[in-house]
Amino acid sequence: MADLSQFDPNSVGNPNNNIFGLPFSEDDARLIILPVPWEVTVSYGAGTARASDHVRRASTQIDIFDAENPEGWKQGFYLREVDKKLLMKSDYLRKEAELYIDYISRGQQVEENQFMRKTLKDVNEGSAYLNRWVYDQTKSLLSRGKLVALLGGDHSTPLGYFKAIAEKHADFGILQIDAHCDLRIGYSGFTYSHASIMYNALEEIQGLKTLLQVGIRDYSAGELDLINNSNDRIITYFDRDVKCRQYEGQSWKQIADEIVGRLPQKVHISFDIDGLDPKLCPNAGTPVHGGFEIEELFYLFSKILKSGRQLIGFDLLEIGVGETDWDANVGARVLWKLCNLLVKSNPV
């Protein structure tokens, strides 16, 4: 256990310590945050591969007192260092993917261009490598009895973690906070596109019993068909519908209770930062007007725990990098709340 006798939780955050200025090592910490510096298939704004370093710097500005779990931090939260080789691989393949996306957006045929065929092959192989890397890392941490969180990176990154969770917990559900469905099939030709993460999860993970999406406001006709024909394996609360219900007199409490009631016993939260109002995440990769205030979602998450359901993990993704660290500041505060909820939901 870490020696906390010389640590003052009321003092300024020490940047020489780990995330949130906490004095824990990986061995001491109960919850390990795995950064995944990957953004190969993003289709609009980039930068999220480097988000974890910005979040770490911003995190020292957070007061480490959580009203719902005041002693939670003492169990230890630890952010691993970014894997530089993985980041370099992402940077290289991202440049290749940008050329490919530009090529097909102009209506050109991939079959007629040998270079583009090779680029597509390289990107898909790189994404498969990323999935294996995430699976190996998270499976190892889970086998050591650690709680695990992912810090992205784009939304393609948690597939390997979902698979590791399924092996440990069998049946579970995903609560997806997002502006997008991410149910596209091989978007832009990329098998493991950020826009295809939930389709791939449903296809490849039998233990994923329920995908419950909240905040969706940008989606395709094909995705809507998939939802409507899923026999309630996919349950989607569209942002417009939620707001219309509120305009007509329903409270967020009523809607949140309904959402929680449709979740299975074990829940993983997959939090794309663009599920928030874009004033809170202006540099997100694909911002969309609408979305939630942070406290609305914190209220929903707390309801999950109060219902007796178990939070088994989370990922926090698509945090943007801009001229200021506003996105990182917001991301750090979301991360802090999710960390506290995860340890609270899994008492020692």
pLDDT, one tens digit per residue, over 94-149 is 999 999 999 998 888 888 899 999 999 999 999 999 999 999 999 999 999 999 99
In a domain, 207, yes or no: yes
Cα–Cα distance, 129 to 158 (Å, whole number): 13
The enclosing domain of 327 has a CATH number of 3.40.800.10
Residues 6+ apart with CB under 8 A from 178: 155, 213, 214, 215, 216, 270, 272, 274, 275
How many domains does the chain divide into?
1
Asked if residue 189 belongs to a domain, the reply is yes
Do the domain assignments include residue 2? no
pLDDT class of 46 with cuts at 50, 70, 90: confident
- pLDDT computed for residue 43 by the predictor: 78
CA distances from 230 to 159, 183, 217 (A): 20, 12, 19
* Alpha helices (H) along 3-145: 51-59, 84-105, 114-143
Helix (H) or strand (E) holding 176: strand 172-177
Report, as an integer, the average pLDDT of 268-281.
97
- pLDDT at residue 285, rounded to an integer: 85
In angstroms, the first-to-last Cα distance of the chain is 14
In a domain, 100, yes or no: yes
Residue 70 pLDDT > 90: yes
Q: Which residues, other chains included, contact 22 with Cβ-Cβ below 8 Å and sequence gap of 6+? A: 64, 73, 76, 77, 78
Q: How confident is the model at residue 45 (pLDDT cuts 50, 70, 90)?
A: confident
Average pLDDT on 84-102 reads 95
pLDDT band for 217, please (50, 70, 90 cuts).
very high
User: Domain for residue 9, yes or no?
Assistant: no
Structure confidence at residue 323 as a pLDDT band (50, 70, 90): confident
pLDDT band at 57 (very low <50, low <70, confident <90, very high): very high
* Residue 164, domain member (yes or no): yes
Residue 10 lies in a domain: no
10 Å Cβ neighbour count for 185? 14
Lowest mean pLDDT among 1-5, 142-146, 174-178: 1-5
Please answer whether residues 286 and 122 qualify as being in contact, where contact means their C-beta atoms are separated by less than 8 angstroms: no
Do β-strands 266-272 and 172-177 pair in parallel, antiparallel, or remain unpaired? parallel
Instruction: Note the pLDDT tens digit of each residue in 261-272.
Output: 999 999 999 999
Question: So what's the pLDDT on residue 9?
Answer: 92
State yes or no: pLDDT of 1 exceeds 80. Answer: no
Q: Quick check: is 12 in a domain? A: no
Query: Which range of residues forms the domain containing residue 46?
Result: 19-345
pTM > 0.85: yes or no: yes
Q: How many DSSP H helices and E strands does the chain contain?
A: 10, 8
Write out pLDDT tens, residues 288-310: 999 999 999 999 999 999 999 99
